[in-house]
Amino acid sequence: MGATRETVGEYVIFSGDPWRVEVIKNYLDNPQKVAFLREFNTYTGTYKGLRVTATSTGIGAPSAAIAMEEMYGCGMKVALRMGTVMALDDTMLGQFLIPIAAMRREQTSATYVEQSYPAVADLELVNTLNQTVASFGRRYQNGVTCTMDGFYTQMKDSRLSRERGIDMMKTLDELDALHIAGIDMETSCMLTVGRLMGVRTAVLTLATVLRNLKQVMEGQARADAEDLLCRVALEGMYRFANAQKGDAQ
């Protein structure tokens, strides 16, 4: 990723989309480009005086684990995944989903620890994010999400999945019956790896699609929503950092 201890802050915001990092950097004071290698686009700057690094992971758990590892190697202490999620609740489109935990149906975290180890968010950071979203006048939901590896085999119909007779709705209905709030491709891996590292880790996602992509946020509405996601992520990190300073005094 081209990062070093000198170029990375202790507070790191991870975006799946490398171009979303270009949005969040506009809200940083004196943003310094660290590197853009493969899918990893990294900037470090300050937000209200807090030194923050924003970087991208690309799609899926394997590259998300690489990003976590390299940021941890550079001294990361707090990690926030900022991304999008497929909501299973039809009323959640355009709203925030801040999971307290995630089902580990991706395989990368299994290379770190046995599957019985839970993928759980840092609850203090989750509570701070809840309060931050509410202060922006937006709705949020806490719940359990599920992380999967196969977009076109587990989340969205494709020509090949239809030719092979894969019933996508069977999986989605199963998760719905388990009261799973949403599905993505990174969360459980990042929560698991973050907890193993002793890094305070949480996830802030915006529901931009509904099950099997039956409804999708697009165009300016999507751009505005992702801009808000960036602002909430930065403000949430700032408030969490301030709370930690207060606890230490």
125 closest CA partner among 94, 81, 87, 92:
81
Q: What is the pTM of this model?
A: 0.95
pLDDT, tens only, 210-245: 987 888 999 999 999 999 999 999 999 999 999 987
Q: What pLDDT score does 192 carry?
A: 98
Give the separation between CA 246 and CA 249, rounded to whole angstroms.
Answer: 5
Range scoring the smallest mean pLDDT among 22-31, 161-170, 178-187: 161-170
Q: What pLDDT score does 55 carry?
A: 97
Report the percent of the chain where pLDDT is more than 70.
Answer: 98
At residue 16, the 3 state secondary structure works out as coil
pLDDT, tens only, 125-141: 999 999 999 999 999 99
Tokens 């196969």 belong to residue: 150
Would you state the structure tokens that stand for residue 158, as one six-digit string? 């494709």
| Whole-angstrom Cα Rg for the chain | 17
- Residues in contact with 43: Cβ distance below 8 Å, sequence separation at least 6, in sequence order: 21, 24, 25, 28, 31, 32, 33, 34, 53, 54, 55
Residues 168/155, Cβ–Cβ less than 8 Å: yes
Residues 58-67 have a mean pLDDT of: 96
Domains and CATH numbers, the chain: 11-248 (3.40.50.1580)
Residues 8-22 have a mean pLDDT of: 96
Please, is 81 exposed, middle or buried when counting C-beta atoms within 10 Å of its C-beta (0-12, 13-18, 19+)?
buried
Q: What pLDDT score does 248 carry?
A: 58
